[in-house]
Amino acid sequence: MADAYFNLTGKVALVTGASQGLGAGFARTLAAHGAKVVLGARQAGKLQALAEEIGAIGGIAHAVSLDVTCRASVTAALDEAEEALGPVDVLVNNAGIAITKPFLEMTDADYDQVLDTNLKGCFIVGQEVARRMAGRPEDSCGGSIINIASVLGTDVIGQLSTYCTSKAGLIQLTRAMALELSRAKIRVNAIAPGYIETPINSDFFHTPAGEKLIKGIPQRRLGRDGDLDGALLLLASDASAYMTGSTITVDGGFLVA
């Protein structure tokens, strides 16, 4: 049931990279709090089951094909989303990838792929959504853009040089967008998750190296489903009306260890 403080009824939220992992969880949570949710992923077909699951619990979801690295794909997805559910009020820039390799072996193609998805992708989707938000009538209630960064935007670990670089850039992009978009009533904030168990990394955390990493987290556990919901709902809703340019760390204490 929608909590009054984090009530998103009447809002349309777009989640990029919604086909699995954190993005699918964000979409479920936003829908459970009343938002109409646009699910974006490169293949819309992969999102049908999630759209139906949200529909079955009384929510409204619409799947669109969207590749965050391609501006034409983003504008087409936004046109379709507006047609289906109305203009986007909340954007969750979640799509992201990592390539794990020693720095000396990282190729130009690796660099481009990670930076294009994690940083330029957020630039493209954020800019296209913000242009539409800024063009809305004066009396509209504004918009919220939430960039999914990482604790590795400030900390670094081995073999993830391009990933760490992309997330550091995203934290600064968040601040720069917040500065310039405030006048248009658009708030831009980021969430920096620590290690959250998702299908993509679950195997690693059951290896000796993964178990060692968990022991280094002050709370001695990985983040799990729902641990990011408080930050997500705060930033998506009017409860954070006076917040912009912030990055909220949700990491079980990883960064202070």
Stretch that binds ligand NAD, among 31-39, 53-61, 176-184, 194-202 (CB under 6 A): 194-202
Closer to ligand NAD by Cβ: residue 122 or 178 = 122
Stretch that binds ligand NAD, among 30-38, 65-73, 76-84, 211-219 (CB under 6 A): 65-73
* φ and ψ of 100, to 5 deg: -100, 110
Is residue 113 part of the contact set for ligand NAD (CB under 6 A)? no
Closer to ligand NAD by Cβ: residue 7 or 198 = 198
Is residue 228 part of the contact set for ligand NAD (CB under 6 A)? no
Smallest separation (angstroms) from ligand NAD to the CB of 196 = 4
- Helix axes 71-85 and 121-134, enclosed angle (nearest 10): 40
Smallest separation (angstroms) from ligand NAD to the CB of 18 = 6
Smallest separation (angstroms) from ligand NAD to the CB of 81 = 14
Indicate the length of the chain as a whole number: 257
Is residue 41 part of the contact set for ligand NAD (CB under 6 A)? yes
* Long-range interactions of 152-156: CB distance < 8 A, separation 24+: 153/192, 153/247, 154/192, 154/255, 155/254, 155/255
Is residue 20 part of the contact set for ligand NAD (CB under 6 A)? yes
- Rounded to a whole number, what is the distance in angstroms from the first to the last CA of the chain? 36
Smallest separation (angstroms) from ligand NAD to the CB of 87 = 21
Catalytic pick from 5, 111, 163, 195?
163
What single string gives the DSSP state of each residue in 165-216?
A: HHHHHHHHHHHHHHHHHGGGTEEEEEEEE--B--TTTTTGGGSHHHHHHHHT
Find out whether 73 and 43 touch, Cβ atoms under 8 Å: no
b/e code 112-139 from CB counts within 10 Å (16+ = b): eebbbbbbbbbbbbbebbbebbeebeee
Sign of the C-alpha dihedral, residues 2, 82, 50, 67? negative
Six token digits for residue 1: 């049931």
Q: Pick from 8, 28, 64, 94: which binds ligand NAD (CB under 6 A)?
A: 94
Sign of the C-alpha dihedral, residues 43, 45, 48, 51? positive
Note if 163 is an active site residue. yes
Is residue 126 part of the contact set for ligand NAD (CB under 6 A)? no
Find out whether 59 and 104 touch, Cβ atoms under 8 Å: no
Q: Pick from 6, 8, 15, 17: which binds ligand NAD (CB under 6 A)?
A: 17
Stretch that binds ligand NAD, among 53-61, 77-85, 94-102, 236-244 (CB under 6 A): 94-102
Is residue 99 part of the contact set for ligand NAD (CB under 6 A)? no
Site string for ligand NAD, 144-183 (x = CB under 6 A): ----x-x---------------------------------
Is residue 67 part of the contact set for ligand NAD (CB under 6 A)? yes
The residues carrying an active-site annotation are 163
